[in-house]
Amino acid sequence: MAKTRTAFFCRNCGAQSPKWIGKCPSCGEWNTYIEEVIQRLEPGTSVQASSRKTAVPTLITGIEFSSESRIDTHNQELNRVLGGGLVQGSVILVGGEPGIGKSTLMLQVALTMPGTRVLYVSGEESEQQIRMRAERLGMGKNDCYILTETSTTAILNHIAGLNPGAVIIDSIQTLTSESIDASAGSISQIRETASELQRFAKTANVPVFLIGHITKEGSLAGPKLLEHMVDTVLQFEGDRNYGYRILRSVKNRFGSTSELGIYEMQGDGLREVSNPSEILITQHEEPVSGTTVAATIEGLRPMLIETQALVSTAAYGTPQRSCTGFDTRRLNMLLAVLEKRSGFKLGAKDVFLNIAGGLRVDDPATDLAVVSAVLSSSIDIPVSPKTCFAAEVGLSGEIRPVTRVEQRVSEAGKLGFETIVISKLNLIAAKSQAKKIKIQPVGKVEEVFRLLFG
């Protein structure tokens, strides 16, 4: 056996040092270095040694190019986030809070890929537990195999005998490598096991899903190197008190990182939400003040979301500014614009803002809907439920144009809205959709107030 030695690793970024350091020179964090025992195998005993290929320099124009073939996961929301499907040989890391539905999503994908042999490797649950969940999800006709194992050597041996078309690992924090003498979940074990699975995926041209835990700060547990090693990083998020889950792409080498998929958690698993606007807009029996609808864009998908505002007199002297799903600093900026440019006295009032459905929005086109909701709640006059908004508000009180306004107007027309308020600088681009919905151009915040409340 090789000589056993110890090394120090940063828990935040995974940097390695031969001795303990108070401040990490890589990420700048203090007191994050921990000692781990490393034990390497004899040369030539690596599981992946026989599968490595000798690389030679190749002229870029001489490389054969063809569009990457993608595997249909039969999950349209996941396909959208991945950029059109699962790329062969890719490594996808899926992270999220405990109980959010990561294992449910991956098992559901494994059960709904007919024609593709899928190996689901679990180090956290028994075979009986996985079978119980599969019964609840509805197994149907599939070619899914279950393996409860934590040793990467045993997993790779089973993969060689089974020859699957896709592999799912639940989770990377439970795997151990024989070449590292450390406990499962440690930085060195995560780095080594992920490296072995990455080499397998690239050499065998088989896609691999890795389910990862997150820390209490919300970042993926393990070294930052883990996110650099994989091809795609997906974040599965949402409030467990709500039934909706959002799958976001944080990193994607084969598609856009601005796409997102929406699911609804039900008793029989995750249901894909193909039209999120219908579930994000509350159906009120009568108009309610402080409620408006914004036409936003998430990736390539136009969405209409409900913006709720509540303005009341500050009870404790110091006014509160609270946001759910919206940037608090941007709300403060919009309130300052209303007070400075338009004369609305909101400095002594509490302002609460909520994006319905548990979503978090950073589209600037939401500004006008937020301003209208605040004004509506302040004077206690409701805005017409058949009116939506799509414009940015500048510091001088001007209504600024937004991108892809045609898609926003078209989506609003499909959902039955009668009027959409946009910037007058977007009028020419939006005229092509004028047959479906009335387009109301505005240039200043004062014009919006007169338009809505007279």
Give the domains, in start order, of the chain with CATH numbers: 5-38 (no CATH), 71-274 (3.40.50.300), 278-453 (3.30.230.10)
| Model confidence, pTM | 0.73
Residue 51 pLDDT more than 60?
no
| pLDDT in the model for residue 43 | 47
The yes-or-no verdict on residue 288 having pLDDT over 70 is yes
Instruction: Give the separation between CA 164 and CA 115, rounded to whole angstroms.
Output: 11
Which segment of 63-67, 149-153, 208-212 scores lowest on mean pLDDT? Answer: 63-67
Q: How far apart are CA 25 and CA 32, in angstroms?
A: 11
pLDDT at 207: 95
For residue 280, the SS3 value is helix
Residue 101 counted as an annotated binding residue: yes
- Average confidence (pLDDT) over 400-409: 92
Q: Residue 289 in contact with residue 372, Cβ under 8 Å? A: no
The answer to whether 68 is annotated as binding is no
- Whether the pLDDT of residue 258 is over 90: the answer is no
Q: What percent of the chain has pLDDT over 90?
A: 48
On average, the pLDDT of the chain sits at 86
Residues 6 or more apart whose CB falls under 8 angstroms from that of 293 comprise 281, 304, 305, 306, 307, 369, 385, 387, 388, 389, 417
Tell whether residue 399 is among the known ligand binding residues: no
Q: Is 394 annotated as a binding residue?
A: no
96: annotated binding-site residue? yes
Residue 104: φ, ψ to 5°: -65, -45
Supply the pLDDT for residue 241: 60
pLDDT over 80 (residue 20): yes
- 100 assigned to a ligand binding site: yes
Residues 312, 348: Cα–Cα separation, whole Å = 9
How confident is the model at residue 280, as a pLDDT? 74
Q: What is the mean pLDDT of residues 398-423?
A: 91
Mean pLDDT of 170-174: 91
**Averaged pLDDT, 95-115:** 90
Asked if residue 259 belongs to a known ligand binding site, the reply is no
Q: Is the pLDDT of residue 306 over 90?
A: yes
The per-residue pLDDT for 45 is 46
Task: Give me the mean pLDDT over the 192-216 stretch.
Answer: 92
Average pLDDT over residues 315-341: 90
102 annotated ligand-binding residue: yes
